[in-house]
Amino acid sequence: MASVERLSSVCAEGTLLCRVAGDEFAILFNAPLETSKKFAGRLVDLFGNGMQVDDQHISVTLSAGLAECPQHGSSVRVLGRAASAMTSVKISGGGAYAVFDPGVELKQREELAIARELRQALSRNQFELMFQPKIDASSLQVTAVEALLRWKHPKLGAVSPEKFIPIAERHGLIEGIGNWVLEAALKHAAEWRRTGLRMRVAINVSRFQMRQDDFAARVEDGLKLHKLQANRFTCEITESVAMENTAVTRRAFTRLEKVGVHISIDDFGTGYSSLSALHKMPANELKIDRAFVTDMPHSAEARAIVKAVVQMAQALNLRVVAEGVETELQRDMLVHAGCNELQGYLFAKPMTAQAITLWAQEAPKSLLQAFRPSLFKETNGPQLH
């Protein structure tokens, strides 16, 4: 049954059903909010099992927004407010309904304003990469640096990537930003190579970049352009993205594996990886999520998880990096558990590319006692399997 027929089949007499845009419909009826909610729930369920078009089963979801007149606005405004509630449902994954909430609408407006600024950020040169070292747990040599993006806006100040990356993803801006990060990181990597610094350079790869058709090709071309070895360049991909196991992410992994880059599974422990899924993935490294590192000193459970992750990684020939190491106690526990590399404020905060180079040349002992830049180390890491 087509969408319109389905919708009209549940609309009672006297209800107005109209098509607003391509796949957007408005339903107007006279009922208390509680009744409208039940109705919206039925609409969502109506599409829960997808649709049959000819002999093909298509997965569709319905997202609904409810607004009441006059509580949520005049008759002129109410449709826009219902649309705003619907947008909030779509952003959180769809397949549900929500009642208009002025707070959410305000956030959406703020987000739109940020997205507008973000659109200009590249051409206005407002991005910068900071780099945070990863340290070998036994020798304290620097094995790698991870590029972390910063947005410096003249009015908004320094906006955290945790805030602007999800907005960039939702507004279709991540591809341009991700390409910039890749190019900038490769440029710095080439510079460091020229000055004799032997360490990997890592970038964070967003879910949407994994869906970008030319991502692996861009990595390959960039490596060639800068004459860099592929396995000295790391792509950090979060566990939740790695486990999506969709045709698109599988293809992206295969392509990256072919290019030969070092693959790191980031925020490990927050998703629900199965051993077999991990085994099939062309990963070289697992990064234990900061939450476990933070909890280790006071939680037996966190300690058990870290230990299990290390054992599993060893069995699969993967290196284990622990991130967010802030205290000596955490460091000692992680070393004891068998982590190969450590990263965190205890060793170094993210710093500019120039600061990394200076460290290497001048070894400013005051910055970090245990950090000896003359000891930059090249890890061979396990082979792809």
267, 268, 318, 353: residue in contact with Ca ion (rule CB under 5 A): 267
Amino acid letter, 154: P
3-state DSSP assignment of residue 40: helix
68-to-18, 37, 90, 186, 290 alpha-carbon distances in Å: 17, 11, 20, 53, 44
121, 149, 318, 320: residue in contact with ligand C2E (rule CB under 6 A): 149
Taking Cα atoms as reference points, which of 126, 142, 193 lies closest to residue 378?
Answer: 142
How near is the Cβ of 174 to ligand C2E at its closest, in Å? 7
82 binds, among ligand C2E, Ca ion, none (CB under 5 to 8 A by kind): none
Question: Between residues 220 and 266, which has the closer beta carbon with respect to Ca ion?
Answer: 266
Question: Between residues 82 and 129, which has the closer beta carbon with respect to Ca ion?
Answer: 129
How near is the Cβ of 108 to ligand C2E at its closest, in Å? 22
# residues contacting ligand C2E (CB under 6 A): 22
Taking Cα atoms as reference points, which of 264, 266, 262, 186 lies closest to residue 218?
Answer: 186
Sign of CA dihedral 132, 136, 140, 143: negative
* Stretch in the footprint of Ca ion (CB under 5 A) among 24-32, 133-141, 228-236, 370-378: 228-236
220, 236, 285, 341: residue in contact with Ca ion (rule CB under 5 A): 236
Give the H or E element holding residue 315: helix 300-315
Beta strands in 155-261 (DSSP E): 157-159, 200-205, 233-238
133, 269, 344, 381: residue in contact with ligand C2E (rule CB under 6 A): 344
Place of tokens 């930059």: 376
- Taking a C-beta distance cutoff of 8 angstroms, is the pair 125, 151 a contact? no
- Taking a C-beta distance cutoff of 8 angstroms, is the pair 234, 262 a contact? yes
CB atoms within 10 A of CB 379: 21
Q: Is 341 in the site for Ca ion (CB under 5 A)?
A: no
Q: Is 204 in the site for Ca ion (CB under 5 A)?
A: yes
Q: Is 165 in the site for ligand C2E (CB under 6 A)?
A: yes
Question: Between residues 62 and 148, which has the closer beta carbon with respect to Ca ion?
Answer: 148
Question: Between residues 203 and 305, which has the closer beta carbon with respect to ligand C2E?
Answer: 203
How near is the Cβ of 361 to Ca ion at its closest, in Å? 26
Contact residues toward Ca ion (CB under 5 A) are 204, 236, 266-267
Contact residues toward ligand C2E (CB under 6 A) are 132, 147-149, 160-162, 165, 181, 203-204, 206, 236, 266-267, 323-326, 344-345, 350
